[in-house]
Amino acid sequence: MDLYGETFSDLRLQGDTFSSGVVEDCLFTRCRFQELTLENFQVTGCQFVDCTFAGLHYKNMSCLNNAFQHCAVSGVEWSALLDPRKLDLGFLPFESFSQCVLHHNVFYSLDLQKFDFHGCDLTGSSFDECDLRQADFSGCALSGTIFSHNDLRGADFRRASGYSLSLETNQGRGARFSLPEAVGLLAALGIVLEE
């Protein structure tokens, strides 16, 4: 199945398997993708608006420069969707996330320098060994989100909520936080606050 420059609205795909296909420069609006199996598939330069992704299974799948707006994306390991050679060169499977719900997503070893997550709900997600210098997490919901061995220098966490990260395992010089949430940084250092 190869699709180039097509537009889809209100598409519902559930429990299907798709093998060997290219989807490029397509627009998907109000679509729902659940429990799909995708093998030997490439998705590039697509826009997803008000779409839902859940329970995706993928093998030999490649994504590059896709934009997500007001989408709900659950349980995706983003670095697995990128050819290792492109990963080393700093390419990303996504171009943007605008006001998205990204529950239980995994961001591993990605160059997310200056990336804008502003206003997204990243509950239960994981950032491990990422370059997040000057990334924008302002206004994000970060409850249960794990940050481990990242470069957070200059990142913006103002008005973000629910975060708990260690400045012992992450580089954080110049990162910006706001009260009262910033008090959680002290707890990660083992400091006890009393009234």
At 193, the pLDDT band (50, 70, 90 cuts) reads low
- For the chain, the domain total comes to 2
Report yes or no on 60 lying in a domain: yes
Give CA torsion, residues 139, 143, 145, 147, to 10 deg. 70
The tens digit of pLDDT for each residue in 65-98 reads 999 999 999 999 999 998 888 877 888 999 999 9
The tens digit of pLDDT for each residue in 104-142 reads 999 999 999 999 999 999 999 999 999 999 999 999 999
What is the reported pLDDT for 187? 67
Please tell me the pTM assigned to this model: 0.90
Q: Give the C-alpha separation, 175 to 133, whole Å.
A: 8
Domain that holds residue 140: 102-195
Q: Give the C-alpha separation, 61 to 68, whole Å.
A: 18
Whether 87 and 108 map to the same domain: the answer is: no
What is the reported pLDDT for 83? 82
Percent of all residues in the chain with a pLDDT value above 90, rounded to a whole number? 77
What is the reported pLDDT for 111? 95
The CATH number given to whatever domain includes residue 20 is 2.160.20.80
Whether 71 and 155 map to the same domain: the answer is: no
Q: Is omega for the bond preceding 180 within 30 degrees of 0, making it cis?
A: yes
Q: For residue 68, list its beta bridge partners.
A: 48, 97
Query: Token pair 């110049």 is at which residue?
Result: 174
What is the reported pLDDT for 86? 81
At 17, the pLDDT band (50, 70, 90 cuts) reads very high
What is the reported pLDDT for 183? 72
Q: What is the mean pLDDT of the chain?
A: 92
At 180, the pLDDT band (50, 70, 90 cuts) reads confident
Q: 10 Å Cβ neighbour count for 169?
A: 12
Whether 64 and 125 map to the same domain: the answer is: no
Whether 57 and 124 map to the same domain: the answer is: no
Q: Give the C-alpha separation, 173 to 183, whole Å.
A: 16
Report yes or no on 3 lying in a domain: no
Whether 81 and 142 map to the same domain: the answer is: no
Q: Which of 78, 96, 114 is the last residue of a domain?
A: 96
What is the reported pLDDT for 182? 75
Q: Give the C-alpha separation, 49 to 106, whole Å.
A: 21
Q: What share of the chain is helix, strand, coil (3-state, %, to 5)?
A: 10, 40, 55
Report yes or no on 2 lying in a domain: no
Highest mean pLDDT among 54-68, 77-91, 173-187: 54-68
**Token pair for 96:** 């943007």
Whether 114 and 74 map to the same domain: the answer is: no
Report yes or no on 1 lying in a domain: no
Q: Which of 72, 96, 120 is the last residue of a domain?
A: 96
Whether 53 and 109 map to the same domain: the answer is: no
Whether 63 and 123 map to the same domain: the answer is: no
Q: How far is CA 114 from CA 39, 55, 73, 117, 156, in A?
A: 31, 29, 21, 9, 10
Q: For residue 141, list its beta bridge partners.
A: 121, 161
At 179, the pLDDT band (50, 70, 90 cuts) reads confident
